[in-house]
Amino acid sequence: MSSNDARSSATRTEIRDVVDEFLRRRGRALAFQTNETYAAIALALATIVALIWANAGGSYHQFWQTSAAITIGPLGVELTLHEWVDEGLMAVFFFMVGLDVRRDLTLGELRLPGRALLPTAAASGGLAVPALIYLVIMGGAPGAHAWGSVISTDTAFALGMLALVGPKRAPRLRLFLLAFAVIDDIGALAVIAIFYSESLNFLALALAAAGLLLVWLMARRGVWRVPPYLVLAVVIWYAVYRSGVHATLAGVLIALLMPVYDVRSQDVDAAGELAALYRQAPAPGTARMLRESLNYSMPLNQRLAFLLPPYVNYLVVPLFALANAGVVLSADTVSAAVSSRILWAVIGGLVAGKLIGVVLGAGLVLWLVPASRMPGLDLPRIVGLGALSGMGFTISLLVANIALEEEALRDQARLGVLLASLLSLVLATLVFQVANRLWPLPEPTGMRLCRPPAPEHELTFGSQDAPHVLINYADMDDEDRWRLTEALYGLQPLIDSGEVLLILRHKLSGPGSLLAALALEAASGNDEPALWDFHDALAGLRGGITSRSITRAARQVGIDAHAMWARIDSGVDEAKILADAGDVEGLTDDSSPVVYIDGRRFEHLLNRWTFSEEINRLQRAAAAGGERPGD
């Protein structure tokens, strides 16, 4: 290596180290901001502060009843601080809920009818049965109209507590809860819009509809910057507020119109090209275009869904709890609440109703449609989830405030919601513990490598004596294969130092991927020296795999195409390829890759940094006498 090459390599290593340290710091901060358990703890702490504050004198209610107005010319909104939280800030919360709904319906579990059936049935039961139990307990007593306060699950609370008390080997349970919560939220929002709206102002409704139409048109025309949507969002919120419909619904309606789609390769490539131009000639204009190109490459729904959770989880929802959970717990108040129907109706609806409804709905589907059963999603775990879904909190408190006019009834309903959330958590904890003891879950399929590496018979890159082995099951017909190839080559320093061995195995999705796999195995079997150059050329086809493109790629890198096709026609490598594909069959719904590092499936982002961090973690664990390869 020349001195210039050595200096260039050292510079790249220094830059990589700086970037890695920055990513570690940002990763730790992001892990805290998005941690569901921490968000649930913040909500619980805000609730405790509200209870203490409300019982420490009269300042609590005086503060939240303080009037605050925003006026622009003849237009204005004057609300109390409590109403600003409930109708203003909570619109942001419902906007985030709407983003989740739209994304799940378009890209997530709910886009597949087979996957949507079970959570839909569970959510439907969890909406209907609690309301029925509430109405039965209430009879015709004052407050019966507030049945909507027992139909919804607080997604943030439930997810945080599931991470804390739920089974550790049931990732499907969390996905089920997310899908269940989306449908649950749709039902709760529909109830608020239909049953808890005041007399309607049709002129304001028409203005809101016109604003939503403009949002839809902007989304259709590809408008991707936030400010135009933000201006329209303020107008729509004001129109919905004036219409008599609860203003928080504006957030949901706007979110349902936000553009959502899979990230497009051409947009990412354009950002990469601008990054190259910036590297070649750094300038403010190029930097700005690069920043805009990066934003453009990520659809608005996914971009906002990434940015909002820290603010919603640690500001909006805790403020809502602080403004709504302050119940005066005097002897007279508690006595009146205990003897009131509404307290027991709320507890019965949330604790018993949610459990019975979720289990009844899901149980019927599991019985009538056996194909809906999925690993880690059996009935005992669904019972635990049904118990946990009684944590109604956010929407329950909101509906109680809307539906009940008497402050005494509101306090009784709030106390019921708080007690129901606590009882639901205790019940869910007991159910999960009993279920784990009596019906323990097996480890999820595919978490451990099912067939140990045999480097002498595989497509390998690096030293066969390396202490760490990364196995990639790859579909060469996947148009994004080149991205992972680039990430894996980012491990070159670890490969050159003998720390990591890369092994390529095959994942099939159709004739193209089978043909490419046969070509790679043929090149390896013929001892072609340009095997990995051939692999890179096939990845560079970006899904355009045909007999002609394979031949052309082989000739470009100097591989004997005639000998390659002769070996392919012999069928000698087919059994190995089919064995590889059988290892990971059913682990993904598409052609996305499957990666194992030291025998354990790697389920994080697939890039150079995440791979390097995992290898470093394994090295530290081995040095400390912890994990060994394959553990």
Q: What is the pLDDT of residues 553-587, one digit of tens each?
A: 999 999 999 999 999 999 999 999 999 999 999 88
DSSP assignment of 56-81? S-SHHHHHHT-EEEEEETTEEEEEEH
**Residue 501: C-alpha distances to residues 62, 599, 612 (Å):** 67, 13, 13
pTM listed for this prediction = 0.81
Provide the pLDDT for residue 329: 81
Provide the pLDDT for residue 521: 96
Q: Do 87 and 328 form a contact (C-beta atoms < 8 A)? A: no
Provide the pLDDT for residue 265: 85
Provide the pLDDT for residue 1: 47
Q: What is the largest CA-CA distance in the chain?
A: 92
Which distant-in-sequence residues (6+ apart) come within 8 Å of 357 by Cβ?
A: 122, 124, 125, 126, 127, 128, 129, 130, 386
Nearest one of 552, 472, 555, 541 to 512, comparing CA atoms: 541
Q: Is the dihedral of CA 14, 18, 23, 25 positive or negative?
A: positive
Low-confidence ranges of the chain (pLDDT < 50): 1
Q: Do 121 and 361 form a contact (C-beta atoms < 8 A)? A: yes
Each residue's pLDDT tens digit, 9-43: 666 677 878 888 888 888 888 888 888 888 888 98
